[in-house]
């Protein structure tokens, strides 16, 4: 199966992600944190703790497809799927936006159930009109729900 890893490291030395952007999320030195206990076990998970820092009632974080923040070309993916594993304290709805270098956006809504172990999410992005210009994936959710964690964020070609 053809895949491109957005965030699926095999090793990490820092306790945060240096190439990420976030708002209304607890951070470490202004950066998106990695779950500390899981990191000690060799499992690298983005740890999201929504914290109201602005008047907005939502939180978000974005990761670049490439650490340089330059566009990634996925136009050769026949059946592209954005896949990741998520665990949460509560059930809630949120959305993901794929963002191009021209600030074009492709939005995908999804529901996250109360999952005590990591559950796999696979979101079809085949209708995205700028697969040749993917710059960032952004997760947006409500502030009023609890903490959650995401790992193994990848772009997968289900046709291969």
Where are the domains positioned within the chain? 2-157
Across the chain, mean pLDDT equals 90
CA distance 133 to 74: 8
The CA-atom distances, in angstroms, between 26 and each of 21, 37, 46, 139, 159 are 12, 16, 12, 15, 38
Residue 148 has pLDDT above 90, yes or no: no
Task: Give the homologous superfamily in CATH for domain 2-157.
Answer: Galactose-binding lectin (2.60.120.430)
- The pLDDT > 70 percentage for the chain reads 96
What pLDDT shows up at residue 95?
A: 94
**Cut 0.85: pTM above it:** yes
What pLDDT shows up at residue 91?
A: 78
The token pair at 45 is 């998970």
The token pair at 14 is 């820092």
How many Cα atoms are found within 13 Å in the side-chain-facing hemisphere of 149?
19
- Top pLDDT among 119 and 125 is at 125
């Amino acid at each position: 199966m053809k895949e491109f890893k957005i965030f699926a490291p095999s090793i990490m030395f820092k306790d945060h992600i240096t190439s990420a952007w976030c708002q209304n999320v607890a951070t470490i030195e202004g950066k998106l944190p990695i779950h500390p206990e899981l990191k000690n076990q060799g499992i690298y998970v983005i740890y999201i703790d929504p914290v109201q820092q602005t008047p907005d009632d939502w939180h978000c974080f974005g990761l670049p497809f490439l650490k340089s923040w330059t566009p990634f070309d996925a136009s050769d993916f026949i059946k592209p799927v954005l896949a990741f594993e998520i665990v949460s304290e509560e059930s809630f709805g949120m959305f993901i936006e794929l963002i191009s270098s021209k600030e074009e956006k492709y939005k995908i809504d999804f529901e996250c159930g109360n999952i005590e172990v990591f559950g796999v999410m696979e979101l079809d992005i085949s209708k995205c009109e700028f697969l040749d210009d993917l710059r960032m994936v952004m997760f947006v959710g409500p502030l009023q729900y609890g903490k959650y964690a995401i790992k193994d964020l990848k772009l997968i070609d289900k046709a291969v």
